[in-house]
Amino acid sequence: MRTHPTVQQIAAAADVSPATVSRVLTGAVRVTTGARQRVYAAMTQLGYVGREVRKPDPRHPPVVALVVCEPTARVFADPFFARLAAGVEAELAVHGSPMPILTVTRENLPAIERYLLTGGADGVLLVGGYGQKQVARAVAAPGVPVRAVGRPADLVDVPYVDVDNRGGARMAVRHLLRSGRRRIATIAGPRDMPAAADRLAGYHEALAEAGVEPSAIAYGDFTQASGTHAMQWLIGKVPTLDAVFVASDAMAVGALHALRRAGRTVPDGVAVVGFDDAPVATLIQPALTTVRQPVEQLGRIACRLLLADVTEEKPTSGTVILPTELVRRRSA
């Protein structure tokens, strides 16, 4: 079996960083002429062979791997991933393409890299936070097209499709401000997750344009338990808070439980707005006002663009941002 040179091998031979090799292979412009020439020379020296464009063939449809850079337990516990996979699968069904789902952990990352390097997939949809940079670099050398679902970490230079997390958060906080709330706290997601960072930025922007100071910021990990813990902390930190924007519906459910146990009424005492419009938003009492993100559409569009990258001579490029929508219910 022919082996492909890895990004690390090309980088060492060209005396550049692996990130520079990835930018050359993906056609990014942020590379000096000298560095680009050294990378090309190293590729020739190591016997790099670029990916052949896959012609559409109904007898052999392309294989798209959904690579989820999150622990398996969270993938099965969080409905976001099921909804996303359903959207991807619906698009692939039109083409008769299979969809292997790979979850990346610290332990299995080398095995995932080997699978992708040896032709396990014609294209990769990259989801989640852990290991994105390593996976993107691993598949860049053999030229496997990659598209991220959600804005990737800053050091991952791949095209992506995302929802307007920042704008959705602004919408949520503006709604709270219009209802007369002024002591607005937030429960943000993980500090190193781009979607969480964008939602927190939108919270700050909406308050700043209204001339209102942030009340307090607590952090969770997008789970219900973390939302409960964060809300308990906020109640102790700012007893007079009258609203909270929560960066996920799961955390918002936890926040509602904490408020109920603390004797705080919703929405009269504290208004709560979530983010996702997950199925639980209509099952909890009071029903959750939230920002709807089109998760299934996100999966379908990302998959459609990736399939174009696999089968067309000129890959698609750039970023696609899908709009979000405020869904008003009883909690705010």
Whether residue 176 sits in one domain with residue 284: yes
DSSP for residue 71: -
Whether residue 177 sits in one domain with residue 33: no
In 3D, which of 182, 237, 236, 187 has the Cα closest to residue 212? 182
Q: Across the chain, how many H-helices and E-strands are there?
A: 12, 12
Whether residue 266 sits in one domain with residue 191: yes
Whether residue 287 sits in one domain with residue 170: yes
Q: For 76, phi and psi rounded to 5 degrees? A: -80, -20
Give the C-alpha separation, 41 to 44, whole Å.
5
Q: Would residue 52 count as lying in a domain? A: no
Q: Would residue 2 count as lying in a domain? A: no
Give the C-alpha separation, 203 to 197, whole Å.
10
217 CB-contact burial (10 Å; exposed 0-12 / middle 13-18 / buried 19+):
middle
> Beta strands 320-322 and 325-327: pairing type?
unpaired
- In which domain, by residue range, is 134 found? 64-162+296-322
Query: How does residue 8 score in pLDDT terms, banded at 50, 70 and 90?
Result: confident
Whether residue 169 sits in one domain with residue 288: yes
Whether residue 283 sits in one domain with residue 313: no
pLDDT, the chain, mean: 85
Whether residue 255 sits in one domain with residue 173: yes
Return the residue matching tokens 């789970």.
223
Q: Would residue 196 count as lying in a domain? A: yes
Give the C-alpha separation, 80 to 296, whole Å.
9
Which residues are 320's β-sheet partners?
A: 161
Query: CA-CA-CA-CA torsion for 134, 136, 137, 139, nearest 10 degrees?
Result: 120
Q: Would residue 284 count as lying in a domain? A: yes
Q: Would residue 53 count as lying in a domain? A: no
Residue 118 gets the label, from left (phi > 0), alpha (psi -120 to 50) or beta, of alpha
User: Domain with 101 in it: what CATH number?
Assistant: 3.40.50.2300
Whether residue 285 sits in one domain with residue 172: yes
Which residues are 187's β-sheet partners?
A: 218, 246
Give the pLDDT mean for 300-328: 84
Query: How does residue 325 score in pLDDT terms, banded at 50, 70 and 90?
Result: very high
Number of domains, the chain: 3
Q: Would residue 97 count as lying in a domain? A: yes
Give the C-alpha separation, 158 to 141, whole Å.
14
Q: Would residue 59 count as lying in a domain? A: no
The alpha carbon of 144 is separated from its chain's Cα centroid by a whole number of angstroms, namely: 20
Task: Indicate the pTM of the whole model.
Answer: 0.80
Is residue 287 scored above 90 in pLDDT?
A: yes
Give the C-alpha separation, 214 to 306, whole Å.
40
Whether residue 305 sits in one domain with residue 280: no
DSSP for residue 285: S
- Interval 85-127: pLDDT, tens: 999 999 999 888 888 888 887 777 777 777 776 677 888 898 8
Q: Would residue 146 count as lying in a domain? A: yes
